[in-house]
Amino acid sequence: MSIIEEAVRKTAERYHRPAPPEQPASGGRPRLRRVPPPATETANVRRFQPVTLDRAVLDDNSILPQITDPGALRGYKILRTRMLRRLEANQWHSFAVTGATPGEGKTLTSINLAMALAQDPNTWVFLVDLDLHRPKVASYLGLNNSLGERGLTDYLLGDATFEQIMYTPAGMDRLAIIPNFQTVANASELLTSPRMDELVQTLEAETPRRVVIFDMPPVLASDDVLAFSPQVDGMLLVVAEGMTNRDALKGAKALLQEMNLLGVVLNRSEAQDEGAYYSYAR
């Protein structure tokens, strides 16, 4: 069976499971919490490699917490709250950020949403750069591998341990980042490898339970999203006003049909009515 056939099978299996009960009985998958996790969990929380992010780089790349535009700030907060509500309502914890075509703002949205979520005192977040073709999370944050940092591909190839690819930015204790520094030709094979399964399981087993955000390539550019989709609870689609054409969007929606669509982020919007470049719709 090809990777794609296997992915389609697993996706159908995953998304056609019966919906979980609204209020789960004890014992089910742990819920995301709006109330603080018990002190026993936060006391044991793992500390990852500390990194200090350069404010000037964040500023240049329009990354929270350096954003000052009130409209953009409000937009990210609205997106954060809506995402939290939707995740909680469904007992979901993880999602991939994708889009139809390149350059629509998937990575910027993934990073700023991760930071906005981690600003909530009760929400813990993992941000994973799962773009093995054009990884950008590290450069937008001013991390680079000249100091010998290792990232996702090193882990997937067996050249780094989990602890060696995890970074916690100074002052953002609830956020942990897995950057990626290398591109590979066989991305979808790596994304469906046992090593990737192991990483997802390790992320899921961390306490307190975290929201896991995977920054991915466009769904139409490769089979990566389809191949990886069985590992996530849902998809967040980023479209860019004036960039994403109707046919590409239709194509993307058709491919995402079998998956849980958590929402659509309208990036680069001129509309100021919700006060931001970002709005959010189903």
Ligand X SMILES: Nc1ncnc2c1ncn2[C@@H]1O[C@H](COP(=O)(O)OP(=O)(O)OP(=O)(O)O)[C@@H](O)[C@H]1O
Binding residue for Mg ion, selected from 107, 112, 123, 231, defined by CB under 5 A: 107
Considering only residues 178 to 217 of the shown chain, the ones binding ligand X according to CB under 6 A are 217
The DSSP bridge partners found for residue 49 are 167
DSSP 80-139: HHHHHHHHHHHT--EEEEEESSTTSSHHHHHHHHHHHHHHSTT--EEEEE--SSS--HHH
Q: How far apart are CA 120 and CA 132, in angstroms?
A: 29
Binding residue for ligand X, selected from 80, 93, 106, 209, defined by CB under 6 A: 106
Helix orientation angle between 70-90 and 106-119, rounded to the nearest 10 degrees: 80
Nearer to Mg ion, 91 or 244 (CB): 244
Q: Which of 130, 120, 52, 134 is nearest to 88 (CA)?
A: 120
Stretch that binds ligand X, among 19-27, 129-137, 161-169, 250-258 (CB under 6 A): 129-137
Considering only residues 136 to 165 of the shown chain, the ones binding Mg ion according to CB under 5 A are 136
Stretch that binds Mg ion, among 9-17, 101-109, 220-228, 266-274 (CB under 5 A): 101-109
Does 103 contact ligand X by CB under 6 A?
A: yes
The DSSP bridge partners found for residue 188 are none
Binding residue for ligand X, selected from 153, 188, 192, 267, defined by CB under 6 A: 267
The DSSP bridge partners found for residue 264 are 237, 281
Stretch that binds ligand X, among 96-104, 198-206, 245-253, 257-265 (CB under 6 A): 96-104
- In the complex, the residues that contact ligand X under the rule CB under 6 A are 61-62, 99, 102-108, 131, 134, 136, 217-218, 267-268, 277
